[in-house]
Chain A
Amino acid sequence: MKKLLHNIRHHISIILLTFKMTIQSQMEYPSFLVGWLLANPFQFGFGILGIFIIVSNFGAIGDWGFQEIAFLYGISAVSHGLTIVLFIQTWYIESSVRYGELDRYMLRPLGVFFQMIPSYINLIGFTDMLPGLIILIYGCIKIGFDASFFNILKLIITIAGAVLIRGGVYLFSGSISFYTKSSSSLIELDSRLFDSASMYPVSIYPSWIQILFTYLFPIAFISFYSAREFLGKTDGLPMFGNAYLITFLVGLLVFFLAFLFFKRGLSKYESSGS
């Protein structure tokens, strides 16, 4: 027990130190940070502006009005930003394997997964999160979101689940590089799929796509089911139980499976050395 506590403290202290150093080294290129700070709002700003223009012509998309879509879009964008903050390293498993950085991780008395993924917190990811947060707050205000403690907790659990789903899928794709040494194009595909399945209501798609995105490749959980529950809507596939809890559980499951796949890939690396 004492050892476990010591271990946890040890790992947290490493995360904090790495974070401090990451901030320092990223501050050495301020233009880069400012560049992202300028560029990211364009992506999300134009995305939501486009939806606004369309909705003001048509009145709604499916059953969803602009403010409702803004709420959904906000959840999706915030979870995207947080994923970039916490799990961006999953995008670089390929280069770690290819350029032998993995060997360096194995020479340290810490877990490889820990060193590779959570020990690095990406400051630039916050520039992704900021526009999302603004859109989410706008959406919350406009839909009359009851900001009770329990509701905010539900929203946080939803976003945590969404981050786990995104991170898990990225981790899975990244781990493929243990076998094929090439996963970057897959990561790109994941991002596109996330956007398509979480920035608009999934109910606009034919039901077979909805089933696919719910049961096989459960990225509809990133934003749709929870947002629908908060908004009291009923379109799309029926779902039992509390959507925010299911979202979180799906997130845990996806991430856990991806973690197992990562472990398997790593042991394959250990035995083949390539």
Chain B
Amino acid sequence: MAVSIEAKNLTKDFVITKKEPGLKGAFKSLIHSEKSILHAVNNISFSIETGQIVGYIGPNGAGKSTTIKMMSGILQPTSGEVTIGGLSPFKERKKVVRNLGVVFGQRTQLYWDLRLGESFELLRRIYEIDDDTYHKNLTVLNDILNIQEIINTPVRQLSLGQRMRGDLAAAILHSPPVIFLDEPTIGLDVDVKYCVRQFIKDINEQYHTTIILTTHDLGDIEKLCDRIIIINHGEIIHDCSLETLMNNFAPDRQLVVDLYKEPENSVAINNVKIIKQEGARLWIEYNKKETGTGDIIESIAAKYPIRDISIEESKIEDVIRKIYAKGEIQN
């Protein structure tokens, strides 16, 4: 597979001026101000293949946006480099952004005063999109995002969900092979969220688009991403598939068993770890790699008749929270 995005020892430092509060502090900072350096992104490297959907996650202030900004040519790296299709977005900004679609969930890229359709017309002119491609893309977009419904509305009058649909459409109008989505589902209701996820999937499948997605909604990650990169304090702490991550951090699974009859004394079965018992319900924890679920059920059923069972996987939220918390301790 061809490499689409590559970061090598990418670093971004910000100089922060410490400000003391109050009038005295204001004058003091005029004469002499203490400066400190923040490593917003610290020596990160990764390479992303064409057609991958990568979830780029981390707590607030971890360096996600700074990375996205460096990848899209808005910020100059302090050291190291990043390339998109072999080109540096900072040195060859215009060439790179021509093949890039970027959506910031918090801020629209559309023209506030124009109707959505006019925004599209202007983008068509800016990116020099030929008629065929433009109309074809517009049809596709209309199928997935139902753009026709809002195309004549001024952008400032769009609801958040409508605006996001417009923003997504605008970002891929010029058929970019690479898309960055910075929190595309923030603040959206269930319906629109579903629509946005469907859109990302469809685009990726149809056009083989490389997509980097930052989000705090782990549902997005679960539904979309082949791979996740977790960043904290400017450093990559994990880079693997969601499955691998879950297997490594949450190897245990819970089995909840309802029995027909409440057992008279506490249940004990060989090789089965019962962590809780309440009436006719048992909670069992086991390592899914080492122990087969069927085996456990079998051993219980041999002694007690089973009425119902359910399996509870560890929640991805809990895993991620654990990972973030670990990062805090290390630092």
A binds B: yes
What per-residue 1/0 map shows which CB atoms of A88-116 lie under 8 Å from chain B?
Answer: 00000000000010011011111100000
Contact: A107 with B102, CB < 8 Å? yes
A270 within 8 A of B: yes
Size bracket, chain A contacts: 20 to 34
The A interface is mostly helix, strand or loop, or mixed, namely helix
CB neighbours (8 Å) of B69 from chain A are 103, 273
Partner of A104, one of B109, B121, B122: B109
Instruction: Please measure, in the bound complex, the distance between the C-alpha atom of A25 and the C-alpha atom of B155, giving whole angstroms.
Output: 11
Contact: B126 with A109, CB < 8 Å? yes
A53 within 8 A of B: no
Contact: A108 with B76, CB < 8 Å? no
CB of B291 to closest CB in A, whole Å: 51
B273 within 8 A of A: no
What per-residue 1/0 map shows which CB atoms of A108-136 lie under 8 Å from chain B?
Answer: 11110000000000000000000000000
CB of A99 to closest CB in B, whole Å: 8
CB of A86 to closest CB in B, whole Å: 19
A237 within 8 A of B: no
A192 within 8 A of B: no
Q: A103-B69, A107-B74, A272-B15 are in contact. Are A10 and B93 (CB under 8 A)?
A: no
CB neighbours (8 Å) of B15 from chain A are 272
Contact: A109 with B75, CB < 8 Å? no
Closest to B94 in A: A109
B114 within 8 A of A: yes
Instruction: Please measure, in the bound complex, the distance between the C-alpha atom of A11 and the C-alpha atom of B14, giving whole angstroms.
Output: 35
CB neighbours (8 Å) of B125 from chain A are 13-14, 17
CB neighbours (8 Å) of B127 from chain A are 109
Q: A106-B74, A107-B109, A109-B95 are in contact. Are A270 and B100 (CB under 8 A)?
A: no
Contact: A270 with B74, CB < 8 Å? yes
B128 within 8 A of A: yes
Kindly count the residue-residue contacts between A and B in the assembled complex, taking CB atoms under 8 Å apart: 65
CB of B329 to closest CB in A, whole Å: 29
Q: A106-B93, A107-B102, A109-B127 are in contact. Are A273 and B66 (CB under 8 A)?
A: yes
CB of A58 to closest CB in B, whole Å: 48
Contact: A110 with B74, CB < 8 Å? no
B229 within 8 A of A: no
Instruction: Please measure, in the bound complex, the distance between the C-alpha atom of A14 and the C-alpha atom of B109, giving whole angstroms.
Output: 17
Q: A10-B128, A14-B126, A17-B121 are in contact. Are A109 and B74 (CB under 8 A)?
A: no
Partner of A270, one of B75, B102, B118, B154: B75
B322 within 8 A of A: no
CB neighbours (8 Å) of B128 from chain A are 10
Contact: A100 with B107, CB < 8 Å? yes
Within 8 A of A (CB), among B177-203: none
What per-residue 1/0 map shows which CB atoms of A260-274 lie under 8 Å from chain B?
Answer: 000000010011110
Q: A14-B126, A21-B114, A272-B15 are in contact. Are A109 and B102 (CB under 8 A)?
A: no
Instruction: Please measure, in the bound complex, the distance between the C-alpha atom of A109 and the C-alpha atom of B73, giving whole angstroms.
Output: 11
CB neighbours (8 Å) of A18 from chain B are 122
CB neighbours (8 Å) of B113 from chain A are 21-22, 25
Instruction: Please measure, in the bound complex, the distance between the C-alpha atom of A17 and the C-alpha atom of B120, giving whole angstroms.
Output: 12
What per-residue 1/0 map shows which CB atoms of A6-33 lie under 8 Å from chain B?
Answer: 0000100110011001101100100000
B90 within 8 A of A: yes
Instruction: Please measure, in the bound complex, the distance between the C-alpha atom of A111 and the C-alpha atom of B121, giving whole angstroms.
Output: 19
Partner of A21, one of B100, B109, B118: B118
Instruction: Please measure, in the bound complex, the distance between the C-alpha atom of A143 and the C-alpha atom of B154, giving whole angstroms.
Output: 50
Instruction: Please measure, in the bound complex, the distance between the C-alpha atom of A14 and the C-alpha atom of B126, giving whole angstroms.
Output: 7
B158 within 8 A of A: no
- In this complex, which of A22, A108, A270 has the most chain B Cβ atoms within 10 angstroms of its Cβ? A108
What per-residue 1/0 map shows which CB atoms of B139-175 lie under 8 Å from chain A?
Answer: 0000000000000001000000000000000000000
Q: A25-B114, A103-B69, A109-B127 are in contact. Are A271 and B76 (CB under 8 A)?
A: yes
Instruction: Please measure, in the bound complex, the distance between the C-alpha atom of A111 and the C-alpha atom of B73, giving whole angstroms.
Output: 12
B19 within 8 A of A: no
Instruction: Please measure, in the bound complex, the distance between the C-alpha atom of A28 and the C-alpha atom of B153, giving whole angstroms.
Output: 13
5 closest A-B pairs by beta carbon, nearest first, are: A109-B98, A25-B113, A109-B94, A270-B76, A271-B76
Q: Which residues of A contact B (CB under 8 A)?
A: 10, 13-14, 17-18, 21-22, 24-25, 28, 100, 103-104, 106-111, 267, 270-273
16 CB contacts below 8 A, A to B, read: A10-B128, A21-B114, A21-B121, A24-B118, A100-B107, A103-B69, A104-B109, A107-B73, A109-B94, A110-B94, A110-B126, A111-B94, A270-B75, A271-B75, A273-B14, A273-B75
